[in-house]
Structure 1
Amino acid sequence: MSTLRDAAMNSKAWPFEEARRVLKRYEKAPPEKGYVLFETGYGPSGLPHIGTFGEVARTSMIKRAFELISDIPTKLLCFSDDMDGMRKVPENVPQQDLLTENLQRPLTSVPDPFGEFPSFGDHNNAMLRRFLDTFGFEYEFASATEYYKAGKFDAILLLALERYDAIMKIMLRSLREERRATYSCFLPIHPETGRVLYVPMKSVDPVAGTITFDDEDGREWTLPVTGGNVKLQWKPDFGARWAALDVDFEMYGKDHAANTPIYGGICKVLGGRGPENFTYELFLDENGEKISKSKGNGLSIDEWLTYASTESLSYFMYLKPKTAKRMHFDVIPKAVDEYHQQLRAFETQTEAQQLDNPVWHIHGGDVPQSKMVVPFSMLLNLASVAGATEKDALWGFIKRYAPDATPETHPDLDQAAGFAVRYFNDFVAPSRVFRAPTEGERAALADLVTALKTPEAALAAIAKKNADMGNDEPLPEADFGSDEFLQSVVFAVGKNNGFENLRTWFQALYETLLGASQGPRFGGFIALYGVNETIDLIERALAGEFAR
């Protein structure tokens, strides 16, 4: 452990860098509360989107890294701001009129439009927890409504009353002039309508623990700030929660970055020490727009898991958190294949290298072995040429390529085969565009057919390429079914037909045979699909069956 811990203390992997910052907070003494608190915040104003998952996944990675470099206990708290008033109706949920009638009420007081939970906030909280449980996160869930109503924030609310002027001074500096006139850090819940009121305070009484205000109809009310009668505006709420819970780490998107001094300043006013922060770049949809819960744009967690494994999504979340990334369906195949590449690399790496490998952070060091003997991208192409509608259709080809593989011995491959068929039929098939080969490409394709018909013809193609290139190396052994030999044949045929840039040759294969501009390592594809089947595929393309 000491050697591994030493390596972790020097690792440049971003979770370890963040973990070391958190550890530095307690270089003199451990936390009085007995543990280091990692927190994530969630606004349940709409169905949970994939960015919410990413926040929990990344925080969990930092928490795991911390647990390797320190013996201080840890806790991850997923906090839902479900007492916030519903400011607008999400576009992707039913019963829009019902929700419109309940605007400005706390989310846990808004009826559930799906009719499954006591409130809309409870519904969205349950969806978040189901998603997080799918990934096996170790976390505690916290509801703002429960915390406010149970009195867990009473002490900090009374302190906020006492230090009201100091909090308002911080907030008013950040507001436009017209907003300052009506702003208050306290949001009362109207005793009759149950709506969250955005009204100025007529007076605050720290001794009595109350606030006095006029509602929208001009009626005066006095309410205690305790017991769930009042909540804090979201920016003061951020800082107050940090102080109340003694939060040690919280990350959020760059849209919060400008507010960090406000959150931290209010936390300090309330006697707390601000946590370590990590600002990540935002997720974008296919149009480059920020993913939004209310719009429901971009990928949902369920959508990703329809086409790929949970681990592939965690891998995507690990990559470059400070770089904006498109979250659309076309990123899935690459994430799947790269995840398995990292699994295979992990087995041969040193301890220090393993700590820098994303899969260590995904699995907390308990890294499984990859059984993906066929890349996901290759399975997609196989589904394409085989016209597969069920994964069993792919297994006939897989077993010929890898005779020892079975769905039982290779469960990740079996799962990926099912995902590949589904992904192909939903996304690839509708957008495939085949083109007819040019005259030069027709000649090359015909030569490839000839070269694939016999080992002698294949070796002859390689020999011609070697002679033209002045290469006197001996010919490879004619292992006619192997990826490497078949790749050499395809390479040789391209060179023999004047393709100086072989990328152009391979692109021609993809566009004429697979209906795509990108594709697999073609020798591996032939080995998987079958030599005779590939010959038939090429001959059908030459006969004009694909291009319309």
Structure 2
Amino acid sequence: MQRVIGKGTWLDKVAHLLVERERRLGRDLSLIRVESGLGASGIPHIGSLGDAVRAYGVKLALENLGYKGELIAYSDDMDGLRKIPHGLPEWLKEYIAMPVCNIPDPFTCHSSYAMHMSSMLMDALDRLSIQYRFQSGYEAYKQGLLNKEIDILLRNAKVIGERIAELVGQEKFKQILPYFPICSNCKRIYLAQAYEYVEDEHKVLYECKGGIIGREYVQGCGYKGEADVFKAEGKLSWKVEFAARWSALNIRFEAYGKDIMDSVKVNDWVADNILNYAHPLHVRYEMFLDKSGRKISKSAGNVFTPQLWLRYGTAESLMLLLFKRIAGTRHVGVEDIPRLEDEYDRLEDTYFNSSRIDISSSLSSASTTTADTMKLIKQRGIYEYINHNKPPSRAGEHVPYMLLAQLAAVAVEGKEVEYVLNRLRAYGMLKGSDGISERLRERILKARLYAIEVLQQRPESKAVSLDERQRKAIEDLIQVIGSSDDAKVIQSSIFDTARRHGIEPKEFFRLLYMLLIGTDYGPRLGPYIIDVGRDNVINILKRHLASV
């Protein structure tokens, strides 16, 4: 028996812990801010988006508990360019180590390199209908939002440097200040070392000596100068900048990836002990990996962008990917889109077909529930959060994504929607001629692009385990499909083939649906095979035979 918190999801558990912690700290609960950092030094990928979407999910859960929340999307646009991301022009080499907010946009459509990269992530957030407040790091420094924190940190630089060495073994901040000036001579950041803070003038003295940028040492220009820390002439080190942001913007929650564990550890200590601001509640998430097991990287050339997902999949399927869970490493690729599209449909079916369960138990309630009911409550909760706590009044049309892709691929260009809808009605999968949702129309067009740009380019099939009887039955069926163009003959031959090999026809049909469209249900197979093309179906079946 378990107690239900909010909607029963991991997001609700985090929101509950956050509220309880804030109460213990005695902080004002009239507005609870959550934050996500937007990296502006490379092309944003699914992992970058996941950080923001999950923070937004915590905001939704807070609002479900009766609190006002706000998501701050903070762009670190004063970060220095460390390497040229895969596919970007070589002329960017001359800007290595320069703040990305001061680098021209290589795509020539935004005011800077940083704004182009930030805008890609904001575009994805907008397309997911996520509410957030954008905060440019450069503007934060320029407007003086961090001035109080900068002054306190630099006044306490000695004790901070010693503590960094104790916590993570990094010695350099025992010799230099945790602040990186932009050299006024070569215009680069991370090369100049600030060695003294002139407190009454709010300036640091520095020498441009050089430093490791990416994996290479970049020689400094040797210039000695001073930088006004209240005028965006540099930025804080990551080892203290998070703490400054949390304090200045009153941030109560921020998740982080394990790749910045050391920075978070130091920043938590700095916030608590130097800035006298209790650090935010954290949740650590695992990284997204590509299908080969490599970390998805902005510079390695394996970036899987939100825009690519949304070219082939809906906003709902992408939200499902990011809301399902936060624990564990995730291998993700464009091949996951059909599965997530169908999974969202099943989630919607569960939501509308389940009996209405009271999930509004308050945090103070002692109510409990069984494991099966808890699972159902979680599924309903995730569905509502995917729909921004405003679920539709009824379910949409549910058609396997791969069926849409295969039908749309053989349709006349420009007539894809009309053709697919006509065939679905012929299969009995749609009723009537009116009332088709815009989401189904959108999925048809996206599925057609997936069929043409993904399936036709790399038509690999996900392996389905087959026993010897099933293999022999499929081999026989391939012969029938190849020799007959009559839908009725093919339909009846499926029954005959199943019985001939000692397989229950119902189970054989379910197997064929899994092999052909990735679900255990679908249209009448005889007409479907004729519609999508006998050769196409034979090729799919042969690939499955070859993959096991």
Q: TM-score range by the shorter chain?
A: 0.7 to 0.9
Deviations 1:118-167 (A, max 9, x none): 21112222222222111111111001100101111111111112211122
Contact 2:425–2:431 (CA<8 Å) still a contact in 1?
yes
1:212, 1:413 → 2: CA distance?
Answer: 62
Q: CA, structure 1 residues 541+235, in 2 after alignment: closer, same or farther (shift >3 Å)? A: closer
Q: 2:107 aligned to 111, 114, 124, which one?
A: 114
Q: CA, structure 1 residues 224+439, in 2 after alignment: closer, same or farther (shift >3 Å)? A: closer
Corresponding residue SS for 1:524 = coil
2:34, 2:329 → 1: CA distance?
Answer: 23
Alignment of 1:134-213 (within 5 A): 134-173=127-166, 179=172, 183-213=176-206
Contact 1:15–1:65 (CA<8 Å) still a contact in 2?
yes
Q: CA, structure 1 residues 118+537, in 2 after alignment: closer, same or farther (shift >3 Å)? A: closer
Corresponding position: 1:412 with 2:439: yes
Corresponding position: 1:380 with 2:405: yes
Q: 1:57 aligned to 53, 58, 65, which one?
A: 53
Deviation at 1:243, TM superposition (A): 2.1
Contact 1:526–1:534 (CA<8 Å) still a contact in 2?
no
Alignment of 1:36-115 (within 5 A): 36-71=32-67, 73-93=68-88, 95-97=89-91, 99-115=92-108
TM-score calculated relative to the size of structure 2: 0.80
1:214, 1:288 → 2: CA distance?
Answer: 42
Match in the other structure for 1:237: 241
Question: Aligned AA for 1:18?
Answer: V
Question: Aligned AA for 2:90?
Answer: Q
* Greater gyration radius: 1
Question: What's the Cα RMSD here?
Answer: 3.8
Deviation at 1:363, TM superposition (A): 1.2
Which stretch has the larger CA shift, 349-358 or 394-403? Answer: 349-358
Corresponding residue SS for 1:248 = strand
Which stretch has the larger CA shift, 355-364 or 51-60? Answer: 355-364
Contact 1:284–1:298 (CA<8 Å) still a contact in 2?
no
1:270, 1:545 → 2: CA distance?
Answer: 65
Q: 1:226 aligned to 199, 209, 230, which one?
A: 230
Contact 2:257–2:285 (CA<8 Å) still a contact in 1?
yes
Q: CA, structure 1 residues 103+538, in 2 after alignment: closer, same or farther (shift >3 Å)? A: closer
Question: Aligned AA for 1:227?
Answer: K
Corresponding position: 1:295 with 2:295: no
Q: 1:397 aligned to 423, 428, 434, which one?
A: 423
Match in the other structure for 2:124: 131
1:383, 1:205 → 2: CA distance?
Answer: 68
Deviation at 1:408, TM superposition (A): 5.0
2:500, 2:74 → 1: CA distance?
Answer: 64
1:227, 1:536 → 2: CA distance?
Answer: 66
Contact 1:187–1:230 (CA<8 Å) still a contact in 2?
yes
Match in the other structure for 2:217: none
Q: CA, structure 1 residues 179+67, in 2 after alignment: closer, same or farther (shift >3 Å)? A: same
Deviations 1:251-310 (A, max 9, x none): 122212343321101112221110000111111112211111223414211111111111
2:72, 2:316 → 1: CA distance?
Answer: 22
Corresponding residue SS for 2:328 = coil
Question: Aligned AA for 2:253?
Answer: F
Deviation at 1:430, TM superposition (A): 3.6
Deviation at 1:312, TM superposition (A): 0.9
2:125, 2:538 → 1: CA distance?
Answer: 47
1:545, 1:214 → 2: CA distance?
Answer: 67
Corresponding residue SS for 1:214 = strand
Deviations 1:411-430 (A, max 9, x none): 22222222222111222234
Which stretch has the larger CA shift, 517-526 or 320-329? Answer: 517-526
Q: CA, structure 1 residues 537+450, in 2 after alignment: closer, same or farther (shift >3 Å)? A: closer
Q: 1:364 aligned to 388, 393, 411, which one?
A: 388
Question: Aligned AA for 2:387?
Answer: H
Corresponding residue SS for 2:5 = helix
TM-score calculated relative to the size of structure 1: 0.80
Contact 1:312–1:336 (CA<8 Å) still a contact in 2?
yes
Q: CA, structure 1 residues 30+397, in 2 after alignment: closer, same or farther (shift >3 Å)? A: farther
1:214, 1:132 → 2: CA distance?
Answer: 41
Question: Aligned AA for 1:168?
Answer: G
Q: Percent identity, aligned pairs only?
A: 23
Match in the other structure for 1:476: none
2:185, 2:476 → 1: CA distance?
Answer: 82
Q: CA, structure 1 residues 206+414, in 2 after alignment: closer, same or farther (shift >3 Å)? A: same
Deviations 1:345-390 (A, max 9, x none): 1113324345543211111332123322322133234456x56653
- Point out where structure 2 has 5 or more consecutive residues left out of the alignment: 210-220, 360-375, 462-469
Deviations 1:498-539 (A, max 9, x none): 3489978876x57xxxxx955455763326x62794899499
Contact 2:162–2:173 (CA<8 Å) still a contact in 1?
no
Q: CA, structure 1 residues 236+501, in 2 after alignment: closer, same or farther (shift >3 Å)? A: farther
Match in the other structure for 2:371: none
Match in the other structure for 1:526: 524
Match in the other structure for 2:373: none
Contact 1:372–1:410 (CA<8 Å) still a contact in 2?
yes
Contact 2:181–2:193 (CA<8 Å) still a contact in 1?
no
Deviations 1:309-361 (A, max 9, x none): 11111111112221222221110000000001111211133243455432111
2:347, 2:189 → 1: CA distance?
Answer: 49
1:534, 1:365 → 2: CA distance?
Answer: 40
2:237, 2:87 → 1: CA distance?
Answer: 26
Contact 2:78–2:99 (CA<8 Å) still a contact in 1?
yes
Q: What is the count of residue pairs matched by the alignment?
A: 498
1:387, 1:248 → 2: CA distance?
Answer: 52
Deviation at 1:77, TM superposition (A): 0.5
Corresponding residue SS for 1:26 = helix
Contact 1:36–1:74 (CA<8 Å) still a contact in 2?
yes
Corresponding position: 1:249 with 2:245: no
Alignment of 1:448-487 (within 5 A): 453=488
Corresponding residue SS for 1:137 = coil
Q: CA, structure 1 residues 285+444, in 2 after alignment: closer, same or farther (shift >3 Å)? A: closer
